[in-house]
Chain A
Amino acid sequence: MKSLSVPKDNQIKAAYLIIAIHTVQVGVGIAGYPRLVFMDAKQDSWISIIITGLILSLVIACMVFILNTYKNQDLAGILCTAFGNIIGKFFSMIFVVYFLVLFLSVIINYVEFVQVFIFPKMASWFIGLLLLILVWYAVYGGIRVAVGASIVFFLSSIWMVGLLSKPISLIEVRNYLPIFSTPWKDVLKGVLISSYTFLGFELLWVIYPFIYDKKNVAKYSQFSILITVVMYLFITMVAIGYFSPKQLEQKVWPLLTMFKVISFPMFERFDILAVALWIIVILPNLILLAWMFSFTCKRAHGWKQKHCLVGLVIFSLGFIAIFDDRELINKFTDYTGQIGLVLGWAFPFILLPFAIKHRMKGKKKNAKN
């Protein structure tokens, strides 16, 4: 497969990766994450999160190494170079499906939020349609708009973290104690459960050829991971302090529940607003995933990106209409996490030997010349 040459107008600065990767990772998962990790790792959840962060940092380093080896290639290109055209295309197809699954899991989870918190009677497919229209409109503008949307939406939603100051004032410090009392096995289970929430960093695979200053990719992507880890750590810690252990285990979305105590003089209940506002948090998520999906689809098959996008929108709409049972959603999310464990976390390491081989070959060639 040909390597990509991206026109300069379409290139983006590596610094945007800080926010782009972060926004793909943070989405619906964060609302329920503190509970999930707490169920396993208890008050030592912070260890789990930090371990996850360290592993993730390693994964990212590995990805950047591979990407640097195959210059100007995206995931589909690398797969084809490493495994040959047919197997490569097959693998990229798997990734396309994987992106689709991630996309769907975000969308159905958000639909559930809205139905539980504000509009119990709103049809699922309708909420989905609202989201998909926006996704379609944004992805149609190409990667620049997709990244731009992620940055502007990030800037317009990050202030919500500051609102946690009210729950922070209600924290019970003794909830964090005693530290180091959870068995290692449980802490590691916490790491495993975190894997779903941290997914999304696969963006790097696809976006890499579009980056203008490639030498900074490693730095900025690591930085982005750091932000994500700090954010998760912060929210989890606040949730653990704010809820008592058993209470936290009962709350499906601790973050949104924490918003329930926030009120302003002109605005009695923030949680209602927060759920609607959450659309801004998940949109970058959806937009970038849809872009990843359509672009990889195009690269693997040579189909038009437009058509892939329209296909995605129509398929998702149908999917949302069928999937509106909480049990099913939970199962679906679990499966997504498991797929992600392989395709997101383990895959870079599988690809690593091929990259090393490729690099050696390149060196030999250079030596010969």
Chain B
Amino acid sequence: MQKIKQLMLVSISCLFFLTGCLESNILEELGIVTIYGFDKAEKENTLRATTVLFQFNPDITDASQIITSEGHTFRELRNNANKKSGYKIVSGQLRTVLFGPELSKEGIFPYLDTLERDASISDMVFVAMSTQPTEEVLTASNYEQSPNIGTYIQRLIDTAVRDERLISNTLHEFTRKFFEVGHDPLVPIINNYQDKAQISGLAVFQNDKHVGEISLEETFYVRLISDKFNSGQVEMKLPLKVLQNYLEEYEKVTTDVVYVVLDQINNRADVELSNPEGLQFRVKLDIEGRIVELSERIDLSNKKALEAIEKEINNEVVENLQALIQKSKELNADFFGFGKTYVATKHGKKITEEQWRDMYKDIQVEIDVKSRIRSYGIVE
């Protein structure tokens, strides 16, 4: 009996170790992709992918590699790329996907969907686009001290998002907005300027199709409504006329505008559907900030001066927001997410994406801004 037991134990453990031969991914044998750039190829229905990857070699300190390949599907692209590399190409360390201009116009969701389905790809991958062919962007040779262009672009976007200069657009957030009725994504545009990749603005997407652009400055106003600021920063142009009285005496006025820089901005936005039938929205906006820079000397210890500035800021915000909303209506891309509020407020039958697109042109938004300037630096 004892012998049989021993025999069983030995055979089971043998089996154990024999079947243990798994497909391994040993780090230095991999080509680790950090960024993909997808473009349309010349041939019909084919894609061109620019793959930036790490390949580790003891003798070469620069581990970065760039491979372009063509194919119909994501798998095929990867397999074709693998033909040009001695390393097994894997995308578990993917940080950014970049789409070229034509693809963005046609819709990028099919490609994102394949990425989403791959369990090895993180949901924190940034989705970005470029108005130039991606190969041009990814072959830019200046990527600071980053190990390769992929990590550089990721850092570029990540820093901007953390500084609240951008609206985060990860794979998860993009698909979320794509599936949501009444919310459209904004995608950062990365372009190559003088051999260096830079953020040049935000692309407005209608679902997954690129329809327009807004500037980085305008992003601030989108964020005011659709996101939260913890310590944002903005520069505003206010007319000098109203503030004329509060100027320090020694100041000689040469312009008719004054630039104000606010930082440490906190905001609170309440979007509500005030009239469902008339599609009227009311946005209540509370902004709190701190003046750090003024282009002209204004006596800030004067309460009235502050009030006047606050009032001007309110006007400026409302003006800018209305212009942006107008723009979004023209593009018919609801990047503020008014539709989301509409869906959340209205009971009864759910509306579809198309219905909301039809309705969106007719919405009216009333904006009510209250700004407050907390303190203004260490010098009065």
Contact = CB atoms under 8 A, between A and B. Distances in A.
The reply to whether chain A is a binding partner of chain B is yes
Interface of A: 116-119, 121-123, 126, 129, 170, 172, 174-178, 181, 243-247, 250, 257, 260-261, 263, 268-269, 271
A260 B19 contact: no
Given A172-B340, A261-B172, 16 more contacts: A121-B22, A121-B23, A172-B176, A174-B340, A174-B341, A174-B343, A181-B347, A244-B177, A245-B180, A247-B179, A250-B179, A260-B123, A260-B172, A261-B122, A269-B92, A271-B122
A68 B344 CA distance: 49
Contact of B22 (A117, A122, A172, A260): A122
Contacts of B345: 177-178
A174 B180 CA distance: 11
A39 to B, nearest CB: 14
Most buried by A among B93, B124, B170: B124
Contacts of A177: 344-345
A122 B172 CA distance: 28
Interface residues of B, number: 29
Contact of A174 (B93, B122, B344): B344
B119 A247 contact: no
A240 to B, nearest CB: 12
Given A119-B22, A244-B179, A261 B344 contact: no
B304 interface: no
Contact of B122 (A117, A181, A244, A269): A269
B176 A244 contact: yes
B175 interface: yes
A261 B175 contact: no
B348 interface: yes
A320 B124 CA distance: 34
Contacts of B176: 172, 243-244, 247
Nearest to B353: A246
Given A122-B22, A126-B19, A178 B179 contact: no
B346 interface: yes
B22 A116 contact: no
A117 B180 contact: no
Contacts of A119: 22
A162 B147 CA distance: 33
Nearest to A259: B123
B351 to A, nearest CB: 13
B124 A260 contact: yes
A304 to B, nearest CB: 16
B123 A261 contact: yes
A244 B177 CA distance: 7
A309 B56 CA distance: 50
Given A121-B22, A126-B19, A261-B124, A246 B341 contact: no
Interface string B88-116: 00001100000000000000000000000
A184 to B, nearest CB: 14
The dominant DSSP class at the B interface is loop
15 contacts: A170-B172, A174-B337, A174-B340, A177-B345, A181-B347, A244-B177, A247-B175, A247-B179, A260-B122, A260-B123, A260-B124, A260-B172, A261-B123, A263-B122, A263-B124
Contact of A178 (B19, B93, B173, B346): B346
B234 to A, nearest CB: 23
A13 to B, nearest CB: 36
Given A116-B119, A126-B19, A260-B122, A178 B344 contact: yes
Contacts of A247: 175-176, 179-180
A178 B180 CA distance: 15
Q: Which 5 A-B pairs have the closest CB atoms?
A: A177-B344, A246-B179, A174-B344, A260-B123, A244-B180
Nearest to A275: B119
A246 B177 CA distance: 10
A268 B130 CA distance: 27
A117 B119 contact: yes
Contacts of B122: 260-261, 263, 268-269, 271
Interface in B205-241: none
Contacts of B337: 174
Interface in B155-185: 170, 172-173, 175-177, 179-180, 183
Nearest to B121: A260
A207 to B, nearest CB: 31
A347 B185 CA distance: 51
Contacts of A271: 119, 122
A247 B344 CA distance: 17
Contacts of B16: 129
Name, among A123, A174, A181, A245, the residue most crowded by chain B CB atoms within 10 Å (CB to CB).
Answer: A174
B380 to A, nearest CB: 37
B121 to A, nearest CB: 9
A126 B15 CA distance: 10
Nearest to A176: B344
A118 B341 CA distance: 39
Interface in B229-288: none
A243 B174 CA distance: 11
A174 B337 CA distance: 10
A244 B180 CA distance: 6
Interface string B14-56: 0010011011000000000000000000000000000000000
Contacts of A172: 176, 340
Nearest to A43: B344
Nearest to A123: B19
A246 B139 CA distance: 37
Interface in B338-365: 340-341, 343-348
Highest count of chain A CB atoms <10 Å: which of B20, B92, B172: B172
A256 to B, nearest CB: 9
Contacts of B92: 269
Contacts of A246: 179-180
B171 to A, nearest CB: 9
Contacts of B177: 244
A259 to B, nearest CB: 9
Interface in B311-357: 337, 340-341, 343-348
B69 to A, nearest CB: 23
A129 B343 CA distance: 49
A177 B23 CA distance: 46
